[in-house]
Amino acid sequence: MSDLLSVTRAMELVLGYAGTFGTETVDLEMAAGRVLQQTIRAERAQPPYDRVMMDGIAFRYGSDLPLLSHGTQRAGAPGQALPEGAACLDVMTGAVLPEGADTVVPVERLVRDGRMVRFEDGYEPRQGQFIHRRGSDCAAGTELLSGGRRLDGPALAVLAGNGHAQVSVSRIPSIGIVATGDELVDVGGPVRDWEIRRSNEYALTGALLSRGFNCIERSVVPDDLPLMMAALREQLSRHDVLILSGGVSMGAFDHVPRALSKLGVERVFHKVAQRPGKPLWFGVGPEGQRVFGLPGNPVSATTCGVRYVMPMLLAGQGLCRGKTHAVRLKAEAELIPTLTRFLPVRVGHDETGQAVAIPYPMPTSGDFSFLAATDGFVELPRGEGMAPRGTVALFHGW
């Protein structure tokens, strides 16, 4: 098996075809979780005016006390002028600092007698206090966001605060999930003794949705070459990416590679030195469609989906950071001499912030029942014997 493609090389080949799925403009309301594809600069200086930071009064530092309040500078109103002399204006948080004032005293420190205002005993304001100075956060035109990042809460706030009611983001590719396997029946119907319910499409859908890929069509094709070809031709015409599961092994009824080849999908590789997931197939269609043929076994399909399909899709969005980071194994784990091992694990952080992974070896790659107890898998390089407790490995989250 040493002539099989390595995981690293297979991933390089897949990422070489990641390309891009283009960009589109969406309303800010719909942009949460999308990947930004433009540079966002400050619309104005931030803050755009000398901004009062506390409810209280604004006055000219050094004025004689008491101060006479000449009214209120509300937030959302143009700045008033502070009259000469021992004067102040009541101010609200967020208001413009009145012209002529240079210091704010919060309401908790004030003692009032009608319109006359003084400070509580012993209180000494600092000149300039509680004023958020115009432009102190940034000048107009400062770069605030750059392309290739997910739009989380703070980024959405920056877009809103700088007047971007619409925003350019990576287009989400259209993805077809295609199940094969005549033993498979749907979740809703009856199931006979020799049949199994289809589940891979749900595992893949879950992985896709949790990464923001929500343009998904699911379909089923039979293990029959002409019927499969007709169905796959249709799917290829509708989607940027096809994710097939099943039918990529060596059997007489494993029609997937044959059908794809006849449809002009060029094989990039078939089989990778890994377990589970050795029969993985990857190719590129006549119009650049990326086509993955995942093994049909549920653990294999889910693992290959997370290890290959998701990174390719994320790279196609312009993102390099997925659900991946280093972890330390909490128990030893058996290595495979000739194959990279993908070992399901439960992960967490200990009380010092060290990421740790508890191995959950699955008895067979057909056993998905207990995969739901795990958070993802670690990638163990080929090797002899055991990887000891404490080994650092790369974790991939479901």
Here the contacts of 7-11 (C-beta below 8 Å, separation 24 or greater) are 7/272, 7/273, 7/274, 7/307, 7/340, 7/379, 10/269, 10/272, 10/280, 10/282, 10/308, 11/307, 11/308, 11/311
Residue 90 engages a second copy in binding (rule: CB under 8 A): yes
Q: How far apart are CB 353 and a second copy at their closest, in Å?
A: 4
- Rounded (5°) CA angle 183-188-193: 40
Query: Is 129 a binder of a second copy (CB under 8 A)?
Result: no
Using CB under 8 A as the binding rule, whether residue 1 contacts a second copy is answered as: no
DSSP string, 266-285: EEEEE-BSEES-TT-EEEE-
Give the position of tokens 């009064």.
Answer: 57
Measured from the CB of residue 13, what is the shortest distance to a second copy in angstroms?
Answer: 24
Residue whose entry in the numeric block shows the structure tokens 């007047």: 163
Residue 72, interface with a second copy (CB under 8 A)? yes
The binder of a second copy chosen from 58, 159, 273, 312 (CB under 8 A): 159
Binding flag, residue 360, a second copy (CB under 8 A): no
Among 65, 75, 140, 320, binds a second copy (CB under 8 A): 75
CA separation, residue 248 to residues 203, 265, 292, 297, 317 (Å)? 19, 14, 10, 11, 28
- Residues 279 and 342: their CA atoms lie apart, in Å, by 14
Residues 336-355 that bind a second copy (CB under 8 A): 348-355
Binding segment toward a second copy, per CB under 8 A, in 61-69, 115-123, 131-139, 281-289: 131-139
The Cα–Cα gap between 261 and 265 comes to 5
Please select the residue that binds a second copy; options are 14, 35, 58, 96, rule is CB under 8 A: 96
Instruction: Return the residues of window 138-157 that contact a second copy according to CB under 8 A.
Output: 138, 142, 144-145, 151-157
Q: Contact 391/329 with Cβ under 8 angstroms? A: yes
Which positions from 232 through 271 interact with a second copy, judged by CB under 8 A? 246, 249-254
What whole-number distance in Å separates Cα of residue 319 and Cα of residue 231?
A: 32
- Torsion 160-166-167-173 (CA) sign: positive
Q: Would you count residue 164 as binding a second copy (CB under 8 A)?
A: yes
Determine which residue in the list 12, 24, 99, 108 makes contact with a second copy, applying CB under 8 A.
108
Identify the residue among 125, 148, 161, 383 touching a second copy (CB under 8 A): 161
Among 70, 74, 233, 330, binds a second copy (CB under 8 A): 74
228 binds a second copy (CB under 8 A): no
Applying the rule CB under 8 A, the residues between 285 and 324 that interact with a second copy are 296-298, 302, 305-306
Q: Which of 207, 221, 241, 333 binds a second copy (CB under 8 A)?
A: 207
